[in-house]
Amino acid sequence: MSEIIKNHLELLENRIEELTTVNRFESNFQEHCETEGLIDGLKYSASKLKSARGGFPVVEKNNPAVAAIAYALENDEGIEFLRYWNEGDFDICREWNNVPDEVFIGADSLFKPEKK
């Protein structure tokens, strides 16, 4: 077998392993959400990711979705915030206390960060 084919097979095996892990994680997340609710499901998933990787995975810089979820996890009415954010009701989202600019940068085309 050529070296190129061996490399491709190894890459495929690694990808299958990754997908299996992701599918198992997704299934556990969905099950947890159904029994405990979305916010508890997100908290559960975050704790599993953190323990599995020795810390949170590195995410792309200025990812507003990640910032919105992180903000929602810290608030009692986080699911309501996420619903407004997901629907693009950013004016309503700005009414929440201490919402970081990262929640809006890249998601809200009209957003202008405050100069500090």
At 14-35, the pLDDT tens digits run 777 766 665 666 666 667 667 7
Residue 78: HSE in the Cβ half-sphere, 13 Å Cα cutoff: 18
CA dist 37 and 104 (Å) reads: 25
What does the alpha-carbon distance between residue 33 and residue 102 come to, in Å, rounded to a whole number?
A: 26
Are 103 and 67 in contact by the 8 Å Cβ rule? The answer is yes
Residues 75, 85: Cα–Cα separation, whole Å: 14
Residue 75's nearest CA partner among 97, 60, 105 is 97
Those residues of the chain that have pLDDT short of 50 are: 55-60
3-state secondary structure of 6: helix
Q: How far apart are CA 51 and CA 42, in angstroms?
A: 14
Do 93 and 79 form a contact (C-beta atoms < 8 A)? no
pTM, 2 dp: 0.50
Q: Is 37 helix (H, G, I), strand (E, B) or coil?
A: coil
